[in-house]
Chain A
Amino acid sequence: MDKVINLKKGLNLSLTGQASGFVRDKALSATFAIKPTDFTNLIPKLAVKAGDEVKAGDVLFFDKKNEEIKFTAPVSGEIVAINRGAKRVIQEIVILADKQIKFKQFDAKSSISKGVDSVKEQMLLSGAWTLLRQRPFNVVADPNAKPKGVFISGFNSKPLGADVNVMLGSENANFQAGIDALNTLTDGHVHLGLPTEGAINSALTNATNVKKHYFNGPHPAGNVGVQIHFIDAINKGDTVYTMSPQDVVILGRLFNEGIYNTSQVVALSGSEFTSNCYISTPKGAQIEHLISNNLKSEDARLISGNILTGEKVNKETYLGFYDNNLTAIPEDTSPEFLGWLLPTYERPSASRTFVWFKRLLAKGRAEGFNVNTNMHGEERAYVVTGEYDKVMPMDILPNQLIKSVLANDIDKMEELGIYEVVEEDLALCEFICTSKMPVQQILRDGLNYIQIEA
């Protein structure tokens, strides 16, 4: 085995509602949508209008700043609505799906051997380019950048995270084709982060043309940002690309079969689902379709994405482009009498002040907590120090970094390593924060501020 990178800091949260079991192949959702808001800081320029017919892989809109980057339809059908929000910002481009998806045909495998330009062209034409994101900033990759590496995390350490092994299924050939395509994009390597424990899908273990790195430790060991930090950290001026393993498979299909087939596996996680299963569906499925009678309570909070990083959604909207989790947990807005002193029900905590309520301690507990959305306190000024450091495995000072953002001090943000992190890397800090700071939002504000000022 290659060198193992041991991480000590972090926190594994054991929660009820981990998706398990088989993958259900459901009939197609009636409508699908691509949401430009899923792509950080994107200004979309429409290429279709309501009433147009599209095939899977046809362009829906461009990136206004770089029209090479095309966002394409995940399914074929008729554009039935272009929903706009405040200030007429485009929220959703809704497609009424055909019963049988018609795919636009692209070149097949040969294009990989033709080299980087041909791969890039095919990815950009088909829309598969948008599966690729770049750091810093976690935005759709810049095709003109010279990434020093492409990074893929081969496991998910997030609480209630979708299991990568299930998501990859038996798509070994497509995963490998995806890797081969990514290899052309960089002069460096394609890096694959793998866990030291548990079963690993053969698509990962048998993958060639990649540098494998093994990680041992609690969440966030599975975050690609953490892995990059230990493999080849991002310095000022560097660019790296990242892609989720499931999207590597979608990319592989483009080169193996010549079609942009976004079929992926979505985990239904959280205690509010009657059955925590996996569902196979193209990207952009309607939330309501994914749920279909599987919800225990209509009041549950639905989250597109992970419980620590996702976005609250309603049933009428659509799953986020990069999300492979739909989470449902109880919404809780009830005041708790002396809740800070005598908690009336179980909740996870990393704090040892709950040692008297032994069942409340988050660490070392096998059975899961049934968590809800209660903040368990109010936002306060920073008082406690050192708690973020306990869940931050990177050599980064999270408190000081967040404070530099609050002070709008770009030099300090750069010096303290803001380019190495995105929201999910600081999600645990937000979870454990005594002062209930919106850490992820502050970080995003800082990243946006840098992009605007630079």
Chain B
Amino acid sequence: MKGLRSFLDRIKPTFQEGGNLSMLHSTFDAIETLLFVPGHSAPAKGAHIRDGIDLKRTMITVIVAMMPVLIWGLFNVGYQHYLSLGVNEGFATMNNMLFGLSKSLPIIAVSYGAGLGCEFLFAQFRKHPVNEGFLVTGMLIPLCMPPDVPLWMVALATIFAVIIGKEAFGGTGMNPLNPALLARAFIFFAYPGSMTGENVWIADKPDGYSGATSLSNLSAAESVPVDGNWLNVSGWSVGDMFLGFEPGSLGETSVLMCLIGGVILFATGVGNWKIMVATFVGGLGGGLILNGLVAMGIGADNAFMAVPAYYHLLMGGFAFGAIYMATDPVSAAQTERGKWIYGIMIGLVCIVIRVFNGAYPEGMMLAILIMNVSAPLIDYYQVQSNIKRRLARAK
């Protein structure tokens, strides 16, 4: 390590002000501090000792938590592809993995390349260090993309999310919206053909093969199964949906893998468990309310209303959104009670969008974005209640 350290020390002047490559200063700084935690000591006044945690460790923990869904997603992209060709050699095969990699690695590379490029540029011009936040965003973007999405769209969406979604608001820590979801929403509205419908969720599938997800099947269903057999309607069994043998975005299909990631986030304390639990509670509650309405005879012929409530938690990106997207601390509610309200509302709004807006069978993305925007309002009322307690005490 000493050799590496002295090499960095040797080339450092080239990147500092006045050096030949000073325009790459922030890039060098980012790489240097990634390799070596700088030996800064505490300032002369204040806390002279500091906790071992820093933002790099926090962010890398989130990336570790995303590994299960990523690995599952890589296999699944290949599995669904070969399945559509009529080949089924099992799930965890080398062929599946290789095909998954060939489809997903370019998306990951483009996402990181475009995003980090913007980040480094802004860090250089604004003269601040590169923030670690994009390490997570750069992985979240590919995970919520369909495997067939054109790479230029990924690049465009990422740049949009970083510049308009984040830097325009002051950079990391200031963004009102989750940047990864913003990137997805950008494609969703600008190029709906690449983000919705039945033809985008399986990579390179033959034309005749249906690539419909359980969500699109349910959305298209015209009647409620009289025999209670939902498999015919959703097209995918509960087990398949839970384990993730279903077409979909790279990271969203396996609820089980999402839950493993959720456990990692919960155990390390990096992801807020209140938001995760609240979102699931909200989703389940929303589903149960609709079930109740159906039982009362309201909307009895609407399959999406009548489907057992827990289906909503298994279908589409609900679990992925609840665990990885809703918990983004910057765009979520920041007060402790606010986090409960925020999570429950995400779950409820997601169900409402799914069921009542026929155009958007997947409501999770919009639900989280809507609640991102509402989070400051939730916090406002929480802070106000703290202020009121203080005022009441003064009397």
- The verdict on A341 contacting B57 (CB below 8 Å), with A334-B39, A336-B37 known, is yes
Q: Chain A nearest CB: distance from B302 CB in Å? A: 39
For B32-59 the 0/1 string (1 means CB < 8 A from A) is 0101111111111111111111111110
- B-side contacts of A375, CB under 8 Å: 38, 40-42, 50
Does B43 contact A438, Cβ atoms closer than 8 Å?
A: yes
Residue B131 is within 8 A (CB to CB) of chain A in the complex? yes
Residue B299 is within 8 A (CB to CB) of chain A in the complex? no
- The verdict on A332 contacting B55 (CB below 8 Å), with A308-B49, A397-B386, A440-B47 known, is no
- B-side contacts of A373, CB under 8 Å: 41-42, 48-49
Residue B22 is within 8 A (CB to CB) of chain A in the complex? no
- A-side contacts of B334, CB under 8 Å: 385-386, 399-400
Residue B393 is within 8 A (CB to CB) of chain A in the complex? yes
Does B51 contact A353, Cβ atoms closer than 8 Å?
A: no
- The verdict on A340 contacting B60 (CB below 8 Å), with A397-B383, A440-B46 known, is yes
Does B48 contact A377, Cβ atoms closer than 8 Å?
A: no
Residue A293 is within 8 A (CB to CB) of chain B in the complex? no
CB-contacts of B221-266 with A (<8 A) = none
Q: Chain B nearest CB: distance from A318 CB in Å? A: 16
Residue B14 is within 8 A (CB to CB) of chain A in the complex? no
Residue A376 is within 8 A (CB to CB) of chain B in the complex? yes
Which residue of A311, A382, A386 is within 8 Å of B272 (Cβ)?
A: A386
Residue A381 is within 8 A (CB to CB) of chain B in the complex? yes
Which residue of A360, A430, A438, A440 is within 8 Å of B52 (Cβ)?
A: A360
Residue B173 is within 8 A (CB to CB) of chain A in the complex? yes
Residue A170 is within 8 A (CB to CB) of chain B in the complex? no
Residue A339 is within 8 A (CB to CB) of chain B in the complex? yes
CB-contacts of B377-395 with A (<8 A) = 383, 386-387, 389-391, 393-394
Which residue of B44, B339, B394 is within 8 Å of A235 (Cβ)?
A: B394
- The verdict on A355 contacting B268 (CB below 8 Å), with A343-B52, A386-B336, A416-B383 known, is yes
Interchain Cβ contacts within 8 Å, total number: 220
Does A332 contact B386, Cβ atoms closer than 8 Å?
A: no
Q: How far is the CA of A432 from the CA of B332 in the complex (A)?
A: 21
Residue B335 is within 8 A (CB to CB) of chain A in the complex? yes
Which residue of B36, B44, B50, B269 is within 8 Å of A353 (Cβ)?
A: B269
Does B47 contact A309, Cβ atoms closer than 8 Å?
A: yes
Which residue of A235, A335, A352, A435 is within 8 Å of B38 (Cβ)?
A: A335
Does B49 contact A311, Cβ atoms closer than 8 Å?
A: no
- A-side contacts of B4, CB under 8 Å: 337
Q: Chain A nearest CB: distance from B272 CB in Å? A: 7
- B-side contacts of A338, CB under 8 Å: 35-37
- Kindly report which residue of chain A lies nearest to residue B272, judged by CB atoms: A386
- A-side contacts of B113, CB under 8 Å: none
For B48-84 the 0/1 string (1 means CB < 8 A from A) is 1111111111101100000000000000000000000
Q: Chain B nearest CB: distance from A31 CB in Å? A: 23
For A60-77 the 0/1 string (1 means CB < 8 A from B) is 000000000000000000
Does A395 contact B45, Cβ atoms closer than 8 Å?
A: no
Interface residues on B, range: 35 or more
Does A354 contact B393, Cβ atoms closer than 8 Å?
A: no
Q: Chain A nearest CB: distance from B321 CB in Å? A: 19
For B178-200 the 0/1 string (1 means CB < 8 A from A) is 00000000000000000000000
Q: How far is the CA of A309 from the CA of B45 in the complex (A)?
A: 7
Does B335 contact A378, Cβ atoms closer than 8 Å?
A: no
Residue B94 is within 8 A (CB to CB) of chain A in the complex? no
Q: Which of A307, A383, A432 gathers most chain B CB within 10 Å?
A: A383
CB-contacts of A197-227 with B (<8 A) = none
Does B33 contact A311, Cβ atoms closer than 8 Å?
A: no
- Kindly report which residue of chain B lies nearest to residue A351, judged by CB atoms: B53
Q: Chain B nearest CB: distance from A13 CB in Å? A: 8
- A-side contacts of B270, CB under 8 Å: 353
For A359-387 the 0/1 string (1 means CB < 8 A from B) is 01010000000011111111011111110
Residue A441 is within 8 A (CB to CB) of chain B in the complex? yes
For A325-336 the 0/1 string (1 means CB < 8 A from B) is 001010111111
For B144-177 the 0/1 string (1 means CB < 8 A from A) is 0000000000000000000000000001111000
Residue A315 is within 8 A (CB to CB) of chain B in the complex? no
Residue B1 is within 8 A (CB to CB) of chain A in the complex? yes
- A-side contacts of B48, CB under 8 Å: 301, 303, 307-308, 310, 312, 327, 329, 373
Interface residues on A, range: 35 or more
Q: How far is the CA of A334 from the CA of B40 in the complex (A)?
A: 8
- The verdict on A374 contacting B41 (CB below 8 Å), with A303-B48, A351-B269, A395-B386 known, is yes
Does A431 contact B173, Cβ atoms closer than 8 Å?
A: no
Does B37 contact A335, Cβ atoms closer than 8 Å?
A: yes
Q: Which of B43, B55, B174 gathers most chain A CB within 10 Å?
A: B55
Q: How far is the CA of A434 from the CA of B50 in the complex (A)?
A: 9
- A-side contacts of B47, CB under 8 Å: 307-309, 427, 430-431, 439-440
- B-side contacts of A311, CB under 8 Å: 44-45
- The verdict on A372 contacting B5 (CB below 8 Å), with A355-B267, A384-B329, A434-B55 known, is no
- A-side contacts of B267, CB under 8 Å: 352, 355
- Kindly report which residue of chain A lies nearest to residue B60, judged by CB atoms: A341
- B-side contacts of A355, CB under 8 Å: 267-268
Does A347 contact B52, Cβ atoms closer than 8 Å?
A: yes
Residue B121 is within 8 A (CB to CB) of chain A in the complex? no
Does A235 contact B51, Cβ atoms closer than 8 Å?
A: no
Q: How far is the CA of A371 from the CA of B52 in the complex (A)?
A: 10
- Kindly report which residue of chain B lies nearest to residue A429, judged by CB atoms: B47
Does B39 contact A349, Cβ atoms closer than 8 Å?
A: no
Residue B330 is within 8 A (CB to CB) of chain A in the complex? yes
- Kindly report which residue of chain A lies nearest to residue B37, judged by CB atoms: A339
- A-side contacts of B60, CB under 8 Å: 340-341
Which residue of B39, B61, B133, B174 is within 8 Å of A336 (Cβ)?
A: B39
Q: How far is the CA of A385 from the CA of B332 in the complex (A)?
A: 9
Which residue of B129, B171, B390 is within 8 Å of A417 (Cβ)?
A: B390
Does A309 contact B46, Cβ atoms closer than 8 Å?
A: yes
- B-side contacts of A381, CB under 8 Å: 131, 171-174
User: Could you show 7 A-B contacts with beta carbons less than 8 Å apart?
Assistant: A301-B41, A312-B48, A335-B37, A348-B52, A380-B173, A435-B173, A441-B43
Residue ranges of A at the interface with B (Cβ–Cβ < 8 Å): 13, 15, 233, 235-237, 301, 303, 307-312, 327, 329, 331-341, 343, 347-355, 360, 362, 371-378, 380-386, 389, 395-397, 399-400, 415-417, 423, 427, 430-436, 438-441
The 8 A-B pairs with the shortest beta carbon distances in the complex, nearest first, are A377-B54, A381-B173, A339-B37, A335-B36, A235-B394, A349-B52, A351-B53, A340-B56
Given A333-B39, A376-B51, output 20 extra A-B contacts at Cβ < 8 Å.
A311-B45, A327-B48, A329-B49, A331-B41, A337-B35, A347-B52, A348-B49, A349-B51, A351-B57, A351-B269, A371-B49, A377-B54, A377-B57, A383-B133, A395-B386, A397-B383, A399-B334, A415-B390, A434-B51, A435-B173
Residue ranges of B at the interface with A (Cβ–Cβ < 8 Å): 1, 4-5, 33, 35-58, 60-61, 129, 131-133, 171-174, 267-270, 272, 329-330, 332, 334-336, 339, 383, 386-387, 389-391, 393-394
